[in-house]
Amino acid sequence: MIPKVENIASIHPLAKPITASVQVPGSKSFTNRALVIAVLADGVTTLHGTSDSNDSSVMIELLRQLGVEIVAEEDVIYVKGIAGNFRTYKGTLDVEDAGTVMRFISAVCCLVPGEITLKGSERMHQRPIKELVDALKQLGANISYLENEGFPPIKIKGGTIKGGNVNVNSSISSQFISALLMIAPLLQKDSEVNIAGEQVSEPYIDMTLSVMKQFGVGIAKNKGSYQIKTGGSYKSTNYTVEGDASSASYLFALAALTQSTIRVTNVSGKSLQSDARFVDILERMGCKLNKTDSFIEVTGTGKLSSVNVNMQDMPDTAQTLAVIAAFAKGETIITGLKTLQLKETKRINALQSELSKMDVECEAGADYIKIKGGEPKGAFINTYNDHRMAMAFAIAGTRVEGMMIEAPEVVKKSFPTFWTTLSAMGINIDTE
């Protein structure tokens, strides 16, 4: 029985393989980093090919509330940087359910004179921020919790942060490190960020360093630490954001499941985005792969084999892989998933529940899921207000009849044009 919900998307299987060449929206990760650094730079920066995700829209709105002049015109954004010289602000900023925004804005607000309350959605108030708050306090920030210790909402009395040495536990999120690195050049003292514990998703930190370098600031990186000189100033620039590799993963999954050939023309085979390496896993499973400096292309061969893979550095594509694994021969083991439980929903639990509806055998633990491939059937999929659940399971509908996705509008968080992109490729989708 299908529960009564406001919106449902029903996806119909492809009658035959397709060949398509498409672009995906700009990288949400690169866009949000570039927005923050453009604000901290001196002068007007022009950002091309930016993400149209809800997360990036929230970031823009909050930076405007802090007094930054930002003009957005389709996929071009103009940011009038203020070199860290924020006007006094007293009030509340709502990050909604945007985790990246919460982490990055928390650090930025430490530079802002005044008193700021940072809050978010109910789920955001369940996502830990203690490690970042502790690190910012070590650098001189004045931050307090308004409800539960270690979780938003938080209150920041800005203008007290100075710099110095800091130890950060980054085993929960690499975004804690990125947030510190981006503001460090503007602090009064040289800073050294030392990694305590396991460092997860390190490629995302490399992305941060790449954007900082594009804006004229370099950082010394040693094993387990980053050194940042004070007095370094970001320079305004023209910056082009490449396509979002996480979004592209769903289209590559479509190719894998339907023997289609899909080329994504705005994600480079040499991309720094860790999720761009998702296609290497598909190649191991039996797909054909073509990577160049300007595009990535995947062709499904009709044969999918199971894999044993650690997804610690690309957790955002774990759900996509889990759905593909349901159709692969043998048992796929996906590990390195502990951060998935801290995302928009508890993603390991959600995967196990929804795959089971499709008659897929799976076993899950704190940081892994084992999936026995076979002949999945269509099912009504709960999305848990999680964009990646909706998109990953929608792709299964291009292979089996009866896939119905609850609340399809949740894709706006990262890939607002997801459904129209599929439709333009010839996939039949009914919405009700």
Residues annotated as part of the active site: 316
Give residue for tokens 């930002």: 70
285, containing H or E segment: helix 278-285
156 close to 143: Cβ distance less than 8 angstroms = yes
Task: Taking the CA atoms of 42, 44, 50 and 53 in sequence, report the sign of the dihedral they define.
Answer: positive
Encode burial over 92-101: b for 16+ CB neighbours within 10 A, e otherwise: ebbbbbbbbb
What residue type is assigned to position 365 of the chain? G
The distance between the two most distant Cα atoms of the chain, rounded to a whole number of Å, is 63
What residue type is assigned to position 65 of the chain? Q
Half-sphere exposure of 45 (CA within 13 A, CB side): 30
Q: Which of 70, 64, 71, 72 is nearest to 91 (CA)?
A: 64
176, containing H or E segment: helix 175-183
Q: Which of 307, 364, 294, 368 is nearest to 337 (CA)?
A: 368
Whether omega before 153 lies within 30 degrees of 0, making that bond cis, reads yes
| Residue 3 burial (10 A CB sphere; 0-12, 13-18, 19+) | exposed
Sheet containing 114-119: order of strands: 89-94, 114-119, 154-158, 142-145
